[in-house]
Chain A
């Protein structure tokens, strides 16, 4: 395996953007390229993640090419997934030896539409989507199953939120933050029983960009390259009735294959859009109770669909780069009830 390091990262998240996707992305992409120390035309490969449904038009990602610099023509690809999977494709491309560096970006602007309804389109198109179950309700079914099985408690869910929102106070990209006691949170009304508003993602609009570089070149470009030590992703079956919703086997396999459990991790940045999912992910990925999770505040503080997974990875990388930890697990998840999970293990030089 070739050693690949994250050398720069930039993100933008806001509750409701007036700019369009290209306008949000352009400064973010420019910032990441500038911070990498490479000129745009020195970056060999470009890979992105986005969803046409958020812009409401087919081939929506095509316009983004105008924002990231694509003349002369570039070696480029796109996944209709979170940007974390675009990073995976770029990492594989570097493993082939055909390229040595890559710009990865992603973007999502969900405020113009009804994101809960749009995400219902991920379900069985013949039998379930026609019922239009919104995504909070689908996740609430999972939370209810977990409560009934005794895997989580409502108090634990509130504790996740009560920890995440103060953590987010230091994060300029967080759109939901503040100090709340567990009791205060438990006194709030249900929005999709047993979920309360603070148990659900803080949906935001934004864009993310990252530059990765292989080998010694990464050491020349930054003081403390953050190396990708393990990288894997897995998927579970789609039907909610087939899955044991208290388990996320794909997350467990991905964490094991990425080597996350082989050594101690200093902290983790994980994509848990709903509070109960953090508890499930901790258990599946073997993250001990003493390990700090989501110092950024996570998805309960800012959740830019298509970018949130790449944001967790970038947040973890920047934390290591600043010397705040040496080894971290970062995770991206997508699909109904976290059907698909990706794990990356990062280490500082």
Chain B
């Protein structure tokens, strides 16, 4: 039987377009030290480091974890580097959890990051591979047709995306680490912002950020030793599917649906709409909130948009989504998945500050990547599973 594990420390950097005040090691240490401080531990208490980030081309380095080894206190320790596209922040945490639940280590530090100002992520995402057609459209160009298909299938009102963006941008005002803070943001401002990839507007899109997120993961016997509560891991799941396959539904991917089903089975959740208190999910373009609500079973197919319009997903709604302001407000790509997990963990720890959901006891963290084909999820709880 697997060991129980818990997140006992969480740390994030300040997210910004260009963190030129720190090097890459400095950026990662900022997050890692905050996580250690939160856990009331030091480097010597850590058995192994699990690091994740999206493509190395975003910083122009190969095996950046090797360069970062001593900055992360990993000298003489195991250091594993995960890369599963945009879902990597979630997958990296899942791998860190398995180091503990598999009985390999007692306490693990996991860090996910991106320092996109070292390079140009838009270029990094549109480079033309040899002998292939270059899309030259960035992530927005890839995802816009999926959003358009969702709109057609569901008949959702045209302004659903605007409402999601308005909510997330207002939530971000309460998050001290968020990159984009727009205290005076209005519906009209989002509606009138430039159309980048029809139907995705500028203010419905994520920024390009520098930042890192870190968590300290502990086995059961070493958790709960400080005043701050641990977030118990109730379940984790990962699913992947091919990118080029005629049968796949990229709008409501089977990999996402199976990952959610597996997750609920592990966490003993029979009805996520009743049993999960809040959700932090990977929404790089606003329309993905209603889409993922359906994939994860929080709404029937074609009805996810209703949760936006009736206020269910608002911070003071029945089941808040992206309390931190989400990916729309901070997007250091490799870190984005772990930030979702970190927010979900902090919610059940009661450590989410001004964006705390009252009484949150069960929270879901979600990440996706590639062409909507990689999914990583976890459920965190205040109580032991």
Which A residues are within 8 Å of any B CB, using their own CB?
1, 20, 46, 51-53, 55-63, 65-66, 70-81, 85, 88-89, 92-98, 112, 118-119, 121-126, 129, 232-239, 242, 249-250, 253, 334-336, 339-340
Q: Is the CB of B129 within 8 A of A57?
A: yes
Chain B residues contacting A53 (CB-CB under 8 Å) are 56-57, 62
| Beyond A80-B81, A235-B78, 7 extra complex contacts between A and B, CB < 8 Å | A57-B127, A65-B241, A78-B82, A92-B95, A232-B78, A238-B69, A250-B76
- If A58-B127, A253-B76 touch, does A122 touch B95 (CB 8 Å cutoff)? no
Stretch at the interface among B83-91, B159-167, B213-221, B318-326: B83-91
Q: Is the CB of A71 within 8 A of B55?
A: no
- How big is the B interface, by class? 35 or more
Lowest 9 CB-CB distances: which A-B pairs, in order? A58-B55, A95-B102, A73-B255, A121-B62, A76-B240, A80-B83, A237-B70, A73-B241, A96-B102
Chain A residues contacting B227 (CB-CB under 8 Å) are none
Stretch at the interface among B243-251, B280-288, B290-298: B243-251
Q: Is the CB of B85 within 8 A of A59?
A: yes
- Nearest CB on A from B96, distance (A): 10
- If A58-B58, A59-B55, A70-B241 touch, does A93 touch B98 (CB 8 Å cutoff)? yes
- Nearest CB on B from A75, distance (A): 6
- If A79-B80, A79-B82, A238-B67 touch, does A51 touch B62 (CB 8 Å cutoff)? yes
Chain A residues contacting B76 (CB-CB under 8 Å) are 234-236, 249-250, 253
Chain B residues contacting A239 (CB-CB under 8 Å) are 70
Q: Is the CB of A52 within 8 A of B56?
A: yes
Q: Is the CB of B56 within 8 A of A51?
A: yes
Residues 94-125 (chain B) with a chain A CB within 8 angstroms: 94-95, 98-99, 101-104, 118, 124-125
Chain B residues contacting A92 (CB-CB under 8 Å) are 95, 98-99, 102, 104
Q: Is the CB of A79 within 8 A of B81?
A: yes
CA distance A237 to B68 in the complex (A): 8
- Nearest CB on B from A265, distance (A): 22
- Nearest CB on B from A169, distance (A): 33
- If A72-B258, A125-B59, A233-B78 touch, does A96 touch B101 (CB 8 Å cutoff)? yes
Interface of B is mostly: loop
CA distance A268 to B118 in the complex (A): 41
Chain A residues contacting B63 (CB-CB under 8 Å) are 51, 80-81, 122, 334-335
- If A93-B98, A96-B102, A121-B62 touch, does A55 touch B129 (CB 8 Å cutoff)? yes
- If A58-B54, A62-B243, A339-B66 touch, does A77 touch B82 (CB 8 Å cutoff)? yes
CB closest residue in chain A, given B243? A62
Q: Is the CB of A125 within 8 A of B24?
A: yes
Encoded as 1 (CB less than 8 Å from any A CB) or 0, chain B from 39 to 60 comes to: 0000000000000001111111
CA distance A61 to B369 in the complex (A): 13
CB closest residue in chain B, given A58? B55
* Residue among A63, A125, A234, A238 making CB contact with B243, cutoff 8 Å: A63
Chain A residues contacting B370 (CB-CB under 8 Å) are 59, 62
Q: Is the CB of A73 within 8 A of B240?
A: yes
Q: Is the CB of A73 within 8 A of B83?
A: no
Among B59, B63, B94, B240, residue most surrounded by chain A Cβ atoms (within 10 Å) = B63
Residues 215-243 (chain B) with a chain A CB within 8 angstroms: 237-243
- Nearest CB on B from A255, distance (A): 13
Q: Is the CB of B254 within 8 A of A72?
A: yes
CA distance A71 to B253 in the complex (A): 12
CA distance A121 to B66 in the complex (A): 11
CA distance A70 to B60 in the complex (A): 30
- Is B153's CB within 8 Å of the partner chain A? no
- Is B193's CB within 8 Å of the partner chain A? no
CB closest residue in chain B, given A339? B66
Q: Is the CB of B80 within 8 A of A89?
A: yes
- Nearest CB on A from B118, distance (A): 8
CA distance A321 to B65 in the complex (A): 35
Q: Is the CB of A52 within 8 A of B81?
A: no
Among B64, B83, B102, residue most surrounded by chain A Cβ atoms (within 10 Å) = B83
CA distance A126 to B115 in the complex (A): 14
- If A59-B55, A65-B241, A92-B102 touch, does A122 touch B62 (CB 8 Å cutoff)? yes
Q: Is the CB of B81 within 8 A of A95?
A: no
Q: Is the CB of A79 within 8 A of B83?
A: yes
CA distance A201 to B76 in the complex (A): 26
- Is B75's CB within 8 Å of the partner chain A? yes
CA distance A124 to B244 in the complex (A): 37
- Nearest CB on B from A135, distance (A): 10
Q: Is the CB of A70 within 8 A of B242?
A: yes
Chain A residues contacting B24 (CB-CB under 8 Å) are 125
